[in-house]
Amino acid sequence: MTSFPIVELIDVWKSYDGTQALRGLNLEVNRGEIFGLIGPNGAGKTTTLKIIVGLLKMDRGIVRVNGVDISEEPYEYKRLIGYVPESVSLPEYLTVEELLIYAGKIRGVPDNQIRERMNYFIRLFELSEKRRALILSLSRGMRQKTAIASALIHDPDLLILDEPFIGIDPMGQHVLKELFSERVKEGKTIFISTHMLDTAERLCDRVAIIHKGQNVASGDLKNLQQLSRTGESATLEEVFLKLTEEAKELMVEEPIERKRRTFFGFLRRSP
């Protein structure tokens, strides 16, 4: 059993011209857990996931996946990962079957396993009637389910999903949660970002709350209740609101303190 985290971010920084999205983000996701990334709009969740899967380059910092520094070995580690982005964009000119076969083939999955897994996911996600339909004709939720099936066709150790429940009906959400729990029992890891705090509370083994590109707190609900001093009966939502509010205050205070120091320093130096 390997003890190091499957994903590790150390002091990761990222800016988009003018916007500082990540400011020294530290994060650890353990093998065999369901880990949730939560944070207000613009906190840097999508940016973080895109950096981990290699779709975005960080400005500085270290990202390790399965112990490997992704900037030193930028390709090989991707075999371990299945990724479902926030806005799914699939080739609309393919059928569901064709997409899954294609996704399996480019991942080097043997044909018989592709068939087996494809049939399993098509049944699981109730896509049987649509298996030979063009993706163009699918509803949003069906596209999302197809994208998840396609991310799982190579049976990745690490499944990363950005807001996976958006657009999926309650039955589909239930199926997805069960699927996550089963994969975790097999030692695989699920890493999601979500705004659905009640779901995160029930589903995730641990979460990280990020705010303005920094990790404000991470751990299981008990750890977070202690950190936020909200008490044992506090929900994740209550903990989240308290910690993000405190983080906001801290971030405002810092420049004011700096301004005060500069101001009084200047006064002292003045004749």
Contacting positions for ligand ATP (CB under 6 A): 16, 19, 21, 39, 41-47
- Cα separation, 96 vs 94, in Å, equals 7
Q: How many Cα atoms are found within 13 Å in the side-chain-facing hemisphere of 89?
A: 1
> Given the complex with ligand ATP, which of 21 and 99 has the nearer CB atom?
21
CB of 246 to ligand ATP, least distance (A): 18
Residue number, 49 or 99, with CB nearest to ligand ATP: 49
State how far the Cα of 217 lies from the Cα of 211, in Å rounded to an integer.
9
Checking 137-142 for CB contacts under 8 A at 24+ apart, the result is 138/96, 140/167, 141/167, 141/168, 141/169, 141/172
Instruction: Please say which residue, 44 or 172, places its beta carbon nearer to ligand ATP.
Output: 44
Q: Judged by CB, which is closer to ligand ATP: 39, or 172?
A: 39
Considering the complex, what minimum distance in angstroms separates the CB of residue 46 from ligand ATP? 3
- Cβ distance to ligand ATP smaller for residue 45 or 130: 45
Structure tokens at 64: 């390790």
Residue appearing with tokens 């729990």:
181
Q: Which is nearer to ligand ATP, 83 or 121 (CB)?
A: 83
Helix, strand, coil percentages (3-state) for the chain, rounded to 5, are 45, 25, 30
Distance CA 228, CA 225 (A): 5
Residue 23 tokens read as: 């400011």
Tokens of 170: 């309650």
The DSSP output letter for 193 is E
| Smallest separation (angstroms) from ligand ATP to the CB of 133 | 30
Please, what is the minimum distance in Å from the beta carbon of residue 195 to ligand ATP? 6
